[in-house]
Structure 1
């Protein structure tokens, strides 16, 4: 059941709306043979909070990838009776408490502290977007709340990992995300299939800046020629001038390190202008169901940031539950976010109680089979994460790294539009 609550205090903070989700009833399901006192000591719910973009420019990505998956996971958990806390011999339902950070970093920081200090939640979940995740990570670590960040990629995470032991980073980071792309271009060039002329454009936000810089470095290392390299502002309304500039240079590989709204825009404007190089890569939003619906067969062959193992156990059933709850297909980011919730749940059940330090240690030391991938963390980063996917027909398949379970061969060239 979904309900809305309003605080009675008069301050702005205390008048903001808070939604809670408590599904599956308040009763605790435990082993009937356990002493009554053990069941009585179990909490009524595990209170889990998050501050995420429900409005503003980050909202479309957050809705598709992040908070929708938190709610689906909570429903799945509570439909099964809750999370097993072996300390009490009881399953305990989860309760979600959410706030809208309005796509503003300062607001996200403030709301995370509100969840921890005012709401006194048991656990906190990650926000959406690289910049917001990096800004809130010090807060999670200050208060020692274990968090698995999925929608965040920045090379400095590798250096900051030891300083943020309560933050875990599940998404592929910029250097390992782009190195396979440069290697791919070099290989196709060596084989005489392309000339190896690369065009790069990126959103002037943290993820775009870091991905583009990493790609530039990877191309230099491989000896790949970059003929175009420019940024565009977050919230840009027209990218056709840049597309025309690239068309004049005749690149055979195009990489846009973009956010959802501009991913859709650059793809649509490429269609209109006839920009269709044999290698075409766009960023966040490319695997969204809305992208497939809008572009139909023209999505075939488009390369994607990140991927998941389509053969992973439980993914088929997850897709069915997602479709039943939201009446839409899934995207790889949503699968990855749901996987982080599986990791958290398994760590809680391993520990058997809400002890945040023990949960943190369980995540750090574990290997977790999920619906997206097999996860393990070293230096707070997921090891050997999926880097590149591709639309092949009506399915997003994993392409790189080539040696991972579930990897498919690259479709080349991308069919002409």
Structure 2
């Protein structure tokens, strides 16, 4: 009888302990979730010509938000993304960041996507003394020299030349070596910066520039421009452009049957699945930058993320693969999250100091910062497209069957098909 009583008491005590512990855990989680969220504000291109890239960036960020909150948030508080559509229009950006900081009272800010959207936010961010983590801005801080600016783009310390350096290196390995260059650039912040870098590369490699012209945004007929380039008889044609212009130039090159020895370089847009599907075989032969590819080496730390992204992409109506900006959208806000946890603070000065001294490990790889808030090492690649099929064969883009990494050597997966027409 006494033994049975002891057993009941022990069982009751153990059950009570479990119940108390469970209640404590639930209550603790509830307290964390009931705290005021950490609000992170930004603009994003959800309409307009940059929307295909902006939307996949946002989905990558939302996945970070969801997974972070599922783990209990940051420093005991949930996180909340607060954002507005900048319509791919730089003129909307200053007003958005003013509203985020003065009306929404966000705790921290990050940038929207692209150089053209980052530059107009800088004066507002600087005036407020906020740390600014930016996504795919090309050398934006060269003019501002803001000490709390940190760029997430794998250009490395040679920011402007990095977009086209690999193309020049590949071209000069051919026999006979090319000697002349044509430069075609859209009159926009990113493309002007990339073209400036291409001029530097041409000079450093003793190549003669025989054509150097820009065209206005919104150009739809590229035939006159390409006829002029063709007349220059340049061996290397470097194009620096934003998505709609990149598509227009690829189409015009094919329609004209223009066959330079090598063409591409800094064409934004060709990395997005929507444009790859649209252009299909017309992309064959182009050599262009990529910031990430689904090679075995690069996919290793990112496989779980892309499985989650691709499961959500259909319902969100975004890029079905997310290889260009889905992963980077996740990575750049994750870097900010690492700094918050690392400092146990939302203080912009402390977070900026953490960025200066730390190495960030993300689904897109590792990086650290040098002067000016740029990466200490470049991760830019030049990739050639080949054997691309027309139609809706999405699977051809899941691996490396229709693209070859040419540079840098440590990431290369094959050799260039040269000249360009042999890959057609």
Q: 1 or 2, which has the higher helix percentage?
A: 2
- Structure 1: distance between partners of 2:95 and 2:367: 30
CA contact (8 A) 2:33 2:78 kept: no
SS across alignment from 1:354: coil
Partner residue in 1 for 2:393: none
- Structure 2: distance between partners of 1:140 and 1:407: 39
With over 3 angstroms needed to count, the CA separation of the structure-2 counterparts of 1:31 and 1:73, relative to structure 1, is farther
**Match status 1:354 vs 2:346:** yes
Which runs of structure 2 are paired with 1:131-170 in the superposition (5 Å)?
A: 131-154=116-139, 157-158=141-142, 160-161=144-145, 164-170=146-152
CA RMSD of aligned residues (A): 2.9
Partner residue in 1 for 2:84: 99
**Match status 1:237 vs 2:230:** no
- Structure 2: distance between partners of 1:71 and 1:40: 20
Shift of residue 352, structure 1, vs aligned partner: 2.6
Shift of residue 133, structure 1, vs aligned partner: 0.8
Higher relative contact order (CA 8 A, sep 6+): 2
Partner residue in 2 for 1:83: 73
Partner residue in 2 for 1:114: 99
Which runs of structure 2 are paired with 1:240-279 in the superposition (5 Å)?
A: 240-279=223-262
Partner residue in 1 for 2:169: 183
**Match status 1:315 vs 2:302:** yes
- Structure 2: distance between partners of 1:279 and 1:83: 49
- Structure 2: distance between partners of 1:341 and 1:54: 18
Per the normalisation by structure 1, the TM-score is 0.80
Shift of residue 236, structure 1, vs aligned partner: 0.7
CA contact (8 A) 1:199 1:227 kept: yes
- Structure 2: distance between partners of 1:278 and 1:76: 47
With over 3 angstroms needed to count, the CA separation of the structure-2 counterparts of 1:383 and 1:410, relative to structure 1, is farther
Partner residue in 1 for 2:417: 412
Shift of residue 392, structure 1, vs aligned partner: 4.8
- Structure 1: distance between partners of 2:285 and 2:310: 25
Shift of residue 294, structure 1, vs aligned partner: 1.7
- Structure 1: distance between partners of 2:414 and 2:189: 31
Question: Which of 227, 231, 234 is matched with 2:210 structurally?
Answer: 227
| Number of residues of Structure 1 aligned to a counterpart in Structure 2 | 373
**Match status 1:305 vs 2:289:** yes
With over 3 angstroms needed to count, the CA separation of the structure-2 counterparts of 1:331 and 1:241, relative to structure 1, is farther
Per the normalisation by structure 2, the TM-score is 0.79
CA contact (8 A) 1:74 1:95 kept: yes
Structure 1 stretches lacking a partner, 5+ long: 1-29
- Structure 2: distance between partners of 1:368 and 1:146: 16
Partner residue in 2 for 1:344: 336
Structure 2 stretches lacking a partner, 5+ long: 1-21, 315-319, 387-396
Which structure has the larger Rg?
Answer: 2
What do the CA deviations read for 1:293-320 (whole angstroms, capped 9, x no partner)? 1232443443223422642443122222
